[in-house]
Amino acid sequence: MRLDLLVRGGTVADGTGGPLRRADVGVVDGRIVLLPGDSPVVEVERTVDATGAIVAPGFIDVHTHSDAVTLLGAAGHELSRASVRQGVTVEICGNCGISLFPALPERMAPMRRQSEAQFGEQIGIFQSFEDFVRAQRAVPRANHLVSLVGHGTLRAGVIGYADRPGSPDELALMCDLLDRALTAGAAGLSTGLIYTPGTYADTSEVVALATVAARHAKPYVTHLRDEMSRVEEALEEAIAIARLSGAALHVSHHKTAGKHAWGRTARTMPRLAGLRAAGMDVTCDVYPYTAASTSLSAMLPPWANDGGIDALITRLRSPEQRERMRQAIREGVAGWENTVGNGGWDRISVACAPRHRAAEGRTVAEIAVERGSDPLDVAAELLIAERGEVTIISHSMREDDVQRVLTGSFSMIGSDGVPKPGHPHPRWAGTFARVLGRYVRDLGLLTIESAVHKMTGMAAERFGLAGRGVIRDGAHADLVVFDPGLVADGATYTDPLLPPGGVRTVVVAGEIVVADGADTGRHPGKVLST
């Protein structure tokens, strides 16, 4: 027998959740050949010694905002490596209603501005999934990329950024663009119902779109309309959307954040488990941190963002409008999550502000005290100066909630990484190693088999990635070799791209992309169609 690669002497966690077993894993022409221990191999191109290590399918990061990271060129290089160095061989982007396609040609100019604020630099926007794939193909990548269709992008691409319901014609057009993108290979529909313009949609609009996803047997993936004080109502909306549309439901980065919602996973997780027991196809994902990360503009009431970034900046320049925003945060607005009202500016720190590097890593409250001004004025001035392009980290969750979601039998792992230059949340570079180090080894909350299943086979099944997420004969040769005694996240809030420890080798499409923890410079990654 001839092999391109042999991973010898390791213990296999095959991605199904089944028991660990001793086996050697061979690779021929990008596919796996499973070998019982000590089987005779005639000819081997390259051997990886996995003695003492776990050999698992490559990790699938089901929730990223890495849509543009390789398109950033040199500025994105270090960021894009952070994912693959922890063993991620497939990234699923297009989450929270935000993707880089599709759009009607006449809507694309204002969308370019929005995309610049969300992803940085001159990323632009693409008319179709095919155009997105072409742009990605032109730049090298180490691991694979899968994209959902973001509802916010779809809405902006047809209706624009106005706070109004779509007309029947507009809704039909949105359904048509979604249908084309799903036919071409996008993996499902995502919403971000706290973000403009997605938040302007009522339930019936989302039902109509999720019905298209259901027709393709692709999931409805949602960042709920509220993950704070009204998280349970928001979860019921998502359940209703799934029931009415017939789509499978996937709840993104499930959390109950802010002091009014702490502990509520004790109700939401049994609610989801009950639906599953009754035959409903519902799953979720989670990242292993008690801090969230999003745009600074999402800390403002939805009307503040009505009309897009230029309209937001105009409002932020007006003292009267700022006063209205302060009042909205203090008193709340019906149907709005209100992160700051639920926590406070002392829990919000600046993550990425390209023109204000000195502000990065500090809380908005701290900066306000130093300047002797009000936190909302600090936020407003930052947003104006950065043209809307500010990412924040919000320390809003409790550890018991994180653990309850993480240990749920239907939860998979998604970093929710926002890879932008600056001080991004460490979850982008640390999530998978942190689950294996902290929650499996140190706290003993999960077995290796079960954690690996959440990172691989369960994810592949949910997102239609045939032949991935498992180690078996004929599967795609995406693999990770890690040391269970050493694996640990290195990334911190102050140094967010520090690589993990204990991840020895990463293989994508049969090629070694990480060897002894170091980048090999190989780029076999592709955009995958589902």
Binding residues vs Zn ion (CB under 5 A): 96, 223
Instruction: Compute the distance between CA of residue 337 and CA of residue 44 in angstroms, rounded to an integer.
Output: 57
Structure tokens of 101? 């396609």
Assess contact for 216 and 181: CB atoms under 8 A: no
Instruction: Compute the distance between CA of residue 354 and CA of residue 120 in angstroms, rounded to an integer.
Output: 9
Assess contact for 59 and 19: CB atoms under 8 A: no
Structure tokens of 40? 């005779």
Structure tokens of 112? 């370019």
Structure tokens of 225? 């309309």
The CA-to-CA distance between both ends of the chain, in Å, stands at: 32
For residue 497, what is the DSSP state? T
For residue 102, what is the DSSP state? -
Instruction: Compute the distance between CA of residue 328 and CA of residue 300 in angstroms, rounded to an integer.
Output: 8
Q: Is the peptide bond before 496 cis (omega within 30 degrees of 0)?
A: no
Burial class (CB in 10 A: 0-12, 13-18, 19+), 258: buried
Assess contact for 146 and 90: CB atoms under 8 A: yes
Q: Helices 203-215 and 151-158, interaxial angle, to 10°?
A: 110
Assess contact for 412 and 424: CB atoms under 8 A: no
Assess contact for 126 and 178: CB atoms under 8 A: no
Q: Helices 74-85 and 427-434, interaxial angle, to 10°?
A: 10
**3-class secondary structure, 30:** coil
